[in-house]
Amino acid sequence: MHCVRASHSYSPEDEEDVELSEVVTPWASSVLTGSDLIRASKYNKGLAFSHAEREKLYLRGLLPPAELSQELQSERVMANVRETKREVDRLQYLLSLGERNEQLFHYVLAAHLAEILPLLEHPTTAACCQKYSLMFRALPRALYVTSEDAGSVDSILRNWPERDVRVVCVTDGQECGPLGDLGVQAIGTPLSRLALYTAAGGVRPASCLPVVLDVGTDNARLLADPIYVGLKKRRDAGEAVEELRDELVASLRARYGPALLLDCEDMRYATAEAFVEACQGLFPAYSDAVHGFPAVVLAAVLAALPSTHSPRLADHTFLFVGEGPELLAVVRLVEEAVLAQGGALGTVWDIRERIALVDAKGLVVRERPDAEDYADGVLPYARDLPPAESLLQAVRAVKPTVLVGLTRGAR
């Protein structure tokens, strides 16, 4: 049997309207049956309902007579996915399946993860987010916290129907893959990411909470779009956003406790880093930009070392090509890994003599004319070498044994 708990809020102000003989209960239980059960995506099993279940739950005649296992239904879904040409249409089909039959949706993902995984990443997810206002349905698929909700985040969290939340994926939509700022429409990213937590990590769907922190958008097209479903104002910044972030983190801790993971998606690096720092001492927080990307680069370097002259990081000279905080995060992690391995390079300064950077203007050296304009964190890695404007000149000057390219595109 499938039971649903319906909440009823009650406040002291309501007392004037309540007769003493009335019984006020905080919740009531009811059994979902018939068409209501089929419409409830969380409990609907489609054709996987047995004949006995159909009889007991008043489903007889509401479904075709065939009884199909989830495995057979999964193959039918994948046949439809494979016949669909555009990847964004494939993703939209899968997401609509999740709104009808949550159990089958997650079964399909788990059974065909390798094939579906590219659909749950950018650029497909970003393209799907771009159409979110057109596809919006009035379903509680995510929680929306806006800059107008400052001071009320705790009460908003109490509106979420699930109490046992273990993973929260939050986005502010400012950097949604190749499409940039999509504002509230970036909700597709947390939905896709949390689907992976279920399919690959075994986290119950009910324990996943997607959150959009809507503080506006700088996307002029969205601001002019009459059907855009987010706040129609320029993106807030500064102290107001920081206070809203801290309120959200504190409310999550108070509501769900320390056994919680916060995943930051489609944010600028500085925003994600600030979220991670705000969660310290409260619960774990993760960001692809802050943690995942540097870890993947380091893993690639470690995997390649056995094919080089030495399997030890300390025996190598590194040249990193790119710029921005993401590159510096990779550099710092490699530096930490060299320190952890120990060896002849005993101090941070010794290690930095084996690390060099190349940005858009060439080799990062102390004698470069624009050295005073280096971004924060770059100067410690500036080398005492002659300037080199091209990558080839930098390679000849540094003589690296490990070359790591982290550029966003060719010039």
Flag residues of the chain having pLDDT under 50.
1-28, 138, 411
The predicted pLDDT at position 252 comes to 98
Given a contact cutoff of 8 angstroms between Cβ atoms, the answer to whether 363 and 371 are in contact is: no
* CA distance linking residue 315 with residue 354, whole number of Å: 9
The predicted pLDDT at position 394 comes to 94
The predicted pLDDT at position 136 comes to 52
Where would I find the beta strands (DSSP E) of 85-175?
Answer: 143-146, 167-171
* CA distance linking residue 382 with residue 356, whole number of Å: 7
Q: Please, which residues bridge with residue 363 across strands?
A: 358
Contacts of 221 (CB under 8 A, 6+ apart): none
pTM score of the predicted model: 0.81
Identify the DSSP state of 24.
Answer: P
The predicted pLDDT at position 307 comes to 92
| Domains detected in the chain | 3-67 (no CATH), 121-283 (3.40.50.10380), 293-405 (3.40.50.720)
* CA distance linking residue 367 with residue 155, whole number of Å: 56
pLDDT tens string 338-386: 988 876 666 888 889 999 999 989 999 998 988 888 888 899 999 999 9
User: Half-sphere exposure (CA, 13 Å, Cβ side) for 313?
Assistant: 23
> 3-class SS at 60?
coil
Taking the CB of residue 155, how many other CB atoms lie within 10 A of it? 11
The predicted pLDDT at position 343 comes to 61
> 3-class SS at 221?
helix
The predicted pLDDT at position 127 comes to 76
> Quick one: tokens of 192?
């896709």
